[in-house]
Structure 1
């Protein structure tokens, strides 16, 4: 968990229980809250002018949602949509800043978390520039696994569909399916009951 739940509540956070496929915020809105996922999954996406969805990220329990935008004067460049029933902690921006100003250790943790996320995003962008679909998929799997405490082989269950993997990497679904099978044969991933483990 990025910030202790009780600490957030003591600064005025409330828990929102949100159904699946519910919009938390939309592209173009002004960030007004710090959000932290207590339980569930949230996707960050952008829909282009042709109606094609580009998934930027899938966030899970313990992660925060677009917190970096609280520190700059910009609108959300993405939509945040729940992928399952989700419990979210929501705290107003002003209370969030009071919390981090009064708790310097939390501020350092947030800086470290943002730096790690930025580093992984750079690596992911480099991998997505590759023409090799295996490099793209391995890059995205490494990115999502980087948030897991257990880094041992095949310990991370990929909670993304093949379609979502295609959307994140810019590959066709057929290419993702074929490449995942190839990666399984190379012992890079394991597949159990259609679930991918990395």
Structure 2
């Protein structure tokens, strides 16, 4: 998103987070913008019963935290290191300075927010579908089409079954059962517990 050199010139710090480490909590003040150098971060809400609602997984060279900063409000999600990761972290004040000095980055940020909103609306429509297979098929197709969370070299789905459940609202048992049926129907391959999408995608 934002070139690392610009972030560093503006005083961004390099931080490391271990898997499971919380970078910020839902309803906390939006004080920083983050950009992932390596590893992954997931953005989630947690229900009163402890269940996790997964909204997004941020991968290398992607950023997060800008929406709450631009809204001058609170973080609406909890950010958790999904793996050991390295990030750049910069204050909201410096983030605004970058937006002011590098006008073309407004377009970059706007495009990112638009893509995320499009995906969120896609997910809302998707989870109202009563067929678990259609939900999974359409979600995996969408991720593959957008080249996100599906390895473009080996076609491996980069989400766990639990994460798919947290993202779709389906039970883990339903995800497992549905994937086994999809494998029987040659819609995906499961090798040693890892899920692979066919090279030509899911019909």
Q: Would you call these one fold, judging by a TM-score over 0.5?
A: yes
Greater than 6 Å deviation, 4+ residue runs = 149-154
1:77 and 1:40, CA in 2 relative to 1: closer, same or farther beyond 3 A? same
Q: Which residue of 1 is the match for residue 50 of structure 2? A: 51
Distance 1:153 1:82 in 2: 23
| TM-score for both structures, normalised by structure 1 | 0.89
Aligned residue runs from structure 1 range 128-147, under 5 A: 128-145=127-144, 147=146
Q: Which residue of 2 is the match for residue 42 of structure 1? A: 41
CA contact (8 A) 1:148 1:156 kept: no
Q: Which residue of 2 is the match for residue 67 of structure 1? A: 66
CA contact (8 A) 2:143 2:149 kept: no
Distance 2:192 2:105 in 1: 40
Give 1:163 deviation, angstroms: 1.5
Q: Which residue of 1 is the match for residue 165 of structure 2? A: 166
**CA root-mean-square deviation:** 2.3
Q: Which runs of 5+ in 2 are unaligned?
A: 198-203
1:150 and 1:137, CA in 2 relative to 1: closer, same or farther beyond 3 A? closer
Give 1:118 deviation, angstroms: 1.0
Question: How many residues were matched structurally?
Answer: 197
Distance 2:7 2:146 in 1: 21
CA contact (8 A) 1:145 1:151 kept: yes
Give 1:193 deviation, angstroms: 2.5
Distance 1:176 1:151 in 2: 17
Range with bigger deviation, 179-188 or 98-107: 179-188
3-state SS in 2 of match to 1:61: coil
| TM-score for both structures, normalised by structure 2 | 0.87
3-state SS in 1 of match to 2:64: coil
